[in-house]
């Protein structure tokens, strides 16, 4: 009990950024124990038409180390993508997720392979979380054959059917009705899973989102609407675009929860709670209070509509990777040296994937015309011109 | 030879029969649309389905085309086979983004991982004084979307056959029905059949000129043909049925025979199906043509409410007769 209180104090102190991780280094081997540890979530949940879940979450050393490693790989991947874009290996649009990693990593801790995720264009890390590889992401970003969409989708169109990741969507908000459809199918087929339909604070003002919420609430579809509120819709701050920036309340009859999106454990707890709710009672909205360090995309410096102090302030006080690092070190589940070793491993993983992706060739010209149509009933479809031989139905 | 058993029904009943058979055959087929369940469909295509298949398989939606079309597409990504009914095709303009970007393109942008076996159907075309917004012809707007297949039914026989084929097809198919054709009567076979989605239908073989048409204009053409035959012409009438992709084989064989082409459509003149078909034929069969390809389309105007004005917007049989006489020369 005393230990628990000590952890609580540390947690509060961590939140204020007051304690530097000076507490270290018993030469203890890296803990990979799966024994449950109970930790407190510092920032309180806020519920709308629902009683918020407990602020105490069960985790384990293994899980926390896993969070650290995965988020670090994601961070390195996004930073590598930044350099690739600047050296013109990646063209077009590139929306980076660094800063928001806790959302997709925390989510995965509460989900399984029967659940579906659909998101918008900031999808590189979500793809990774669903079982994609860094090689697939880099190759797709560079438009190469080994990309997850064979190089034909690009940054905004990454999908992983096996992993239950339905994209990767370019048009703001259009993925929310698709998400309702995935949940509809899950209920229809009695698949015992939920759908997480993710969108941003910018998309929260789209009419189709409210249409989708209405139909999901009407039919009790097992969908969780996850609003990744990074406070800026490209260059427009939330207070300039929404009359009510309390996105977790905007579902009205759909209950909502506001979550500290920079805390993996808070996200895990919220998604676990929402999943139980959705399977029994229908949709819920989760607003993840998160932040992106980069601008909206690589063409946006990200500093014309917010101050550099704000960005560095969030990085100092709320960075998701640093939070896990401090947790691991303070609770003596890993030493600084262990974590450095993990970081080195992760950097190597990303570098190797990048090198391999650079070697991947561009798609063949025939790929321009493949995957337009699938073989239709009893005959082939060729486009405006047809070959000489008609194909007869069986 | 034993006579094939046939039964007589109206076009909307044929659509209902086709849809019902597919729903019985495959539990993943479901209908999504406004008033399709309890009300039975505004044109009675799903009458009785709610009682038979349950309200989950015949889903009554709120008036939210954008989201329920998106929902159907999302459901199709997992393997369900939804049939989306637009109460009037014109309302599906609200779902244009979902149809163009998600429905048409997901197979490609996902590198082939997902197919979208959705059928989008509903009545369109110029009716009887329904006003401009309820007289839309959406085939011209959707024809450029890659990945979509489009078919237009015109008889109870092909309506049932195309409905069944569209549901079984792995590609997203838009099935265009016409408001004024729902009460057409015909005898169709008792035994099960489907129609090929990409094939055109030979309505009347001939030698003088190839007349290409679809949907309601088929009947204006056949009516004009009576006058033409009296005047000594021998038109070949083909109902193209497949609006995307065009059945260039059947069309080409006909052009090689007659060397003259007239397209009769209900789309607007600008950017319509006729415009695309004309350039496709010219590109592939230039050497076979004895003269320019004629194209009769609706006027580029919002469809007026007033009866006589509305008649002037669409192609009438006497205009078809005049066009054929001009293209073939007087007999």
pLDDT at A28: 55
Question: Which one is the CATH code of B6-189: 3.40.50.970, 3.40.50.10470, 3.30.365.10, 3.40.50.720?
Answer: 3.40.50.970
Residue-wise pLDDT tens digits, A140-171: 999 999 999 999 999 999 999 999 999 899 99
- A249 located within any domain: yes
pLDDT at B5: 83
Tokens of B154: 């015109």
Q: Which of B17, B22, B34, B65 is catalytic?
A: B65
Query: 């993990």: which residue's tokens?
Result: A342
User: What percent of chain B shows pLDDT beyond 90?
Assistant: 95
Catalytic-residue membership of B65 = yes
Residue-wise pLDDT tens digits, A98-128: 999 999 999 999 999 999 999 999 999 999 9
Contact by Cβ (8 Å): B22, B49? no
Task: Read off the pLDDT of each residue in A8-27 and give the average, rounded to a whole number.
Answer: 42
Is the pLDDT reported for residue B329 higher than 50?
yes
Residue-wise pLDDT tens digits, B191-222: 999 999 999 999 999 999 999 999 999 999 99
Shortest Cα–Cα distance, A252 to chain B (Å): 17
Q: Please tell me the distance from the alpha carbon of residue A124 to that of residue A366, in angstroms, as a whole number.
A: 27
pLDDT at A279: 97
Q: B273-285 vs B248-258: helix axis angle to the nearest 10? A: 60
Task: Read off the pLDDT of each residue in A245-263 and give the average, rounded to a whole number.
Answer: 96
Q: Please tell me the distance from the alpha carbon of residue B156 to that of residue A173, in angstroms, as a whole number.
A: 40
Q: Could you tell me which chain B residue has the CA closest to the CA of A393?
A: B196
What residues of B are in contact with residue A220 (Cβ under 8 Å)? none
Mean of per-residue pLDDT scores for chain B: 94
What residues of B are in contact with residue A152 (Cβ under 8 Å)? 108-109, 111
Q: Do residue B74 and residue A387 have CB atoms under 8 angstroms apart? A: no
Residue-wise pLDDT tens digits, A31-77: 778 889 999 999 999 999 999 999 999 999 999 999 999 999 999 99
- A184 located within any domain: yes
The whole domain housing A337 covers 37-363
Following CA atoms B203, B150, B297, B200 in sequence, which dihedral angle do they give, to the nearest 10 degrees?
A: -20
CATH number at A326 reads 3.40.50.970
- A104 located within any domain: yes
| CATH 3.40.50.970, chain B: domain bounds | 6-189
Residue-wise pLDDT tens digits, B152-180: 999 999 999 999 999 999 999 999 999 99
Q: Please tell me the distance from the alpha carbon of residue A139 to that of residue A229, in angstroms, as a whole number.
A: 29
Q: Per-residue DSSP letters for A152-202?
A: SS-TT---BTTTTB-----STTTHHHHHHHHHHHHHHTT----EEEEEETT
pLDDT at A365: 87
- A172 located within any domain: yes
- A103 located within any domain: yes
What residues of B are in contact with residue A378 (Cβ under 8 Å)? 165, 194, 196
Neighbour tally for B152: CB within 10 Å: 29
**Number of domains into which chain A is organized:** 1
What is the fold of B201-328? Rossmann fold (3.40.50)
Categorize the per-residue pLDDT at A19 as very low, low, confident or very high, splitting at 50, 70 and 90.
very low
- A377 located within any domain: no
Q: Please tell me which of the candidates B66, B75, B109 has its beta carbon nearest to residue A181.
A: B75
Is the pLDDT reported for residue A24 higher than 60?
no
pTM score, two decimals?
0.88
Does the beta carbon of B189 lie under 8 angstroms from any beta carbon of chain A? no
- A23 located within any domain: no
Residue-wise pLDDT tens digits, B81-124: 999 999 999 999 999 999 999 998 999 999 999 999 999 999 99
Going by the DSSP 8-state scheme, the letter that residue B233 receives in this structure is: -
Q: What ipTM goes with this model?
A: 0.88
From chain A residues 174-193, the ones with a CB under 8 A of any chain B CB are: 174, 176-182, 184-186, 188-189
pLDDT at A345: 95
pLDDT at A6: 46
User: What percent of chain A shows pLDDT beyond 70?
Assistant: 87
Catalytic-residue membership of B134 = yes
Shortest Cα–Cα distance, A361 to chain B (Å): 16
Which of B35, B27, B33, B122 is closest to B81 using CA atoms? B27
From chain B residues 288-307, the ones with a CB under 8 A of any chain A CB are: none
Q: Per-residue DSSP letters for A204-221?
A: GG-HHHHHHHHHHHHTT-
């Amino acid at each position: 009990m005393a230990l628990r209180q000590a952890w609580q104090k540390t947690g509060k102190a961590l939140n204020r950024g007051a304690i530097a991780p000076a507490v270290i280094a018993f030469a203890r081997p890296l803990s990979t124990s799966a024994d449950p540890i109970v930790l407190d979530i510092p920032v309180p949940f806020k519920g709308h038409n629902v009683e918020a879940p407990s602020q105490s979450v069960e985790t384990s050393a293994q899980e926390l180390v896993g969070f650290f490693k995965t988020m670090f790989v994601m961070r390195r991947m996004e930073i590598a993508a930044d350099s690739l874009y600047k050296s013109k290996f990646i063209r077009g649009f590139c929306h980076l997720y660094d800063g928001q990693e806790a959302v997709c990593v925390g989510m995965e801790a509460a989900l399984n392979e029967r659940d579906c995720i659909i998101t918008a264009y900031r999808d590189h890390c979500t793809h990774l979380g669903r079982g994609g590889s860094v090689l697939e992401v880099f190759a797709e970003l560079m438009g190469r054959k080994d990309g997850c969409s064979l190089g034909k989708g690009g940054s905004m169109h990454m999908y992983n059917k096996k992993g239950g990741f339905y994209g990767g969507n370019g048009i703001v908000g259009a993925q929310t009705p698709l998400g309702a459809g995935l949940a509809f199918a899950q209920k229809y087929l009695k698949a015992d899973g939920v759908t997480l339909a993710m969108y941003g604070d910018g998309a929260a003002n789209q009419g189709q989102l409210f249409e989708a919420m209405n139909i999901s609430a009407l039919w009790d579809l097992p969908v969780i609407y996850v609003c990744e509120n990074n406070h800026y819709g490209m260059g427009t701050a939330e207070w300039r675009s929404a009359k009510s920036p309390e996105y977790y309340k905007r579902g009205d009859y759909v209950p909502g929860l506001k979550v500290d999106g920079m805390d993996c454990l808070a996200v895990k707890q919220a998604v676990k709670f929402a999943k139980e709710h959705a399977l029994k009672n229908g949709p819920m909205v989760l607003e993840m209070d998160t932040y992106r360090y980069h601008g909206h995309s690589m063409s946006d410096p990200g500093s014309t509509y917010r101050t550099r102090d704000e960005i560095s302030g969030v990085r100092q006080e709320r960075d998701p990777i640093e939070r896990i690092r401090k947790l691991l070190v303070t609770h003596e589940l890993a030493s600084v040296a262990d974590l450095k070793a993990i970081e080195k491993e992760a950097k190597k993983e990303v570098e190797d994937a990048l090198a391999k992706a650079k070697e991947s060739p561009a798609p063949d010209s025939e790929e321009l015309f493949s995957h337009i149509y699938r073989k239709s009933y009893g005959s082939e479809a060729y486009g405006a011109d047809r070959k000489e031989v008609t194909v007869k139905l069986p | 030879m034993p006579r094939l058993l046939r039964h007589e029904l109206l076009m909307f009943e044929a659509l209902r029969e086709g849809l019902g058979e597919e729903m019985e055959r495959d539990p993943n087929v479901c209908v999504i649309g406004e008033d399709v369940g309890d009300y039975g469909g505004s044109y009675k295509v799903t009458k009785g389905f709610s009682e038979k298949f349950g309200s989950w398989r015949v889903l009554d939606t709120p008036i939210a085309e954008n989201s329920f079309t998106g929902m159907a597409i999302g459901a199709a990504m997992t393997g369900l086979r939804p049939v989306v009914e637009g109460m009037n095709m014109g309302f599906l303009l609200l779902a244009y983004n979902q149809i163009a970007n998600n429905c048409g393109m997901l197979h490609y942008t996902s590198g082939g991982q997902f197919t979208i076996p959705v059928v989008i159907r509903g009545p369109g075309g110029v009716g009887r004084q329904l006003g401009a917004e309820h007289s839309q012809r959406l085939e011209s707007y959707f024809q450029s979307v890659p990945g979509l297949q489009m078919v237009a039914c015109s008889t109870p026989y092909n309506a049932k056959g195309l409905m069944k084929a569209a549901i079984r097809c792995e590609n997203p198919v838009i099935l265009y029905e016409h408001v004024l054709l729902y009460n057409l009567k015909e005898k169709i076979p008792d035994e099960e059949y489907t129609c090929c989605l990409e094939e055109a239908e030979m309505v009347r073989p001939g030698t003088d000129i190839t007349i290409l048409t679809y949907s309601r204009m088929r009947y204006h053409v056949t009516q004009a043909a009576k006058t033409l035959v009296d005047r000594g012409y021998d038109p070949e009438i083909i109902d193209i049925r497949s609006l995307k992709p065009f059945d260039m084989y059947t069309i080409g064989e006909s052009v090689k025979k007659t060397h003259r082409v007239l397209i009769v459509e209900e789309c607007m003149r600008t950017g319509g199906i006729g415009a695309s078909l004309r350039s496709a034929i010219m590109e592939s069969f230039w050497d076979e043509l004895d003269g320019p390809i004629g194209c009769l389309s609706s006027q580029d105007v919002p469809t007026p409410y007033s009866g006589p004005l509305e008649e002037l917007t669409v192609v009438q049989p006497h205009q078809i007769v005049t066009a054929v006489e001009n293209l073939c020369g007087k007999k």
